[in-house]
Amino acid sequence: MVMHTEDLVAESRRFIAPILRFTEMVVGLEKTSGRVHSGANANFEKGPMNQASIFRLLCIICAVSVAWPQGTPRTPAQDIRAHFVGLNQKIMAMAKDFPAADYGYRPAEGVRSFGDVIIHIASGNIYAAKAGRGEKVPWDELNPKAYKNKAEIVVTLEKSIQEATAALQATRDERFAATLDPWLDVIEHAGEHCGQLVAYYRAHGLIPPQSRGNAK
Ligand code: NI
């Protein structure tokens, strides 16, 4: 569903108005009683809601109100495509960003190095490209020893993403009503290893690219 800007604004106002009234009511209550909330948020317990809290709350309300009217659920096809592409963008950003000298880093013996994990994820993409096209193929693991350095590994990942994305985009939407194979499995698998790469970043005292805007 496509919503025109005017509709969106009107819908946002309609949605935000009762929340604003509620906010005013809460602020009013806090001013009179000095303590409304109890429990988790200690700041609330210290006294009236301050301006920063109100600003934060309004920011959340604005974000929700923009998202709310567009709330038509994504179709399985849209969801699978969005997750596959978004996840691989994160992994690609880490692969390009991680120091070349540390590509051999592994947290313990017998565990994949940073570069090995990228090759393992690329193997999943290559499998997805073939299985997604309807080929009956087993998971075919690339040999990580065949890749000498960061440049080779990044190119391999990039190519695997291109192939899999092409297969995914060529898949007719109707197919996703019948099966999410192999995409859901491959997304879940890459998501686990994406988290592993984040841990490698942190172990190095580095912030992964996707977290830098938040400085945490
Ligand atoms: Ni794995």
Gap from CA of 191 to ligand 1 centroid (Å): 10
How remote is the CA of residue 26 from the centroid of ligand 1, in Å?
Answer: 49
pTM for the complete prediction?
A: 0.67
How much distance in Å is there from the Cα of 149 to the middle of ligand 1?
21
Low-confidence ranges of the chain (pLDDT < 70): 1-70, 214-216
pLDDT of the residue at 29: 42
Q: How far is the CA of 193 from the centre of ligand 1 (A)?
A: 7
| The pLDDT value given to residue 140 | 86
Per residue, what are the HEC states of the chain? CCCCHHHHHHHHHHHHHHHHHHHHHHHHHHHHHCCCCCCCCHHHHCCCCCHHHHHHHHHHHHHHHHHHHHCCCCCHHHHHHHHHHHHHHHHHHHHHHCCHHHCCCCCCCCCCCHHHHHHHHHHHHHHHHHHHCCCCCCCCCCCHHHCCCHHHHHHHHHHHHHHHHHHHHHCCCCHHHHCCCCHHHHHHHHHHHHHHHHHHHHHCCCCCHHHHHHCC
**In the prediction, which pLDDT does 214 show?**
66
| pLDDT attached to residue 79 | 96
Q: State in Å: Cα 196 to ligand 1 middle.
A: 10
pLDDT at res. 213:
83
List the domain boundaries for the chain: 5-67, 76-214
Q: What is the mean pLDDT of the chain?
A: 80
Distance 31 CA to ligand 1 centre (A): 54
Q: Please give the distance, rounded to the nearest whole angstrom, from the Cα atom of residue 91 to the centre of ligand 1.
A: 14
Q: Domain spanning 76-214: which superfamily?
A: dinb family like domain (1.20.120.450)
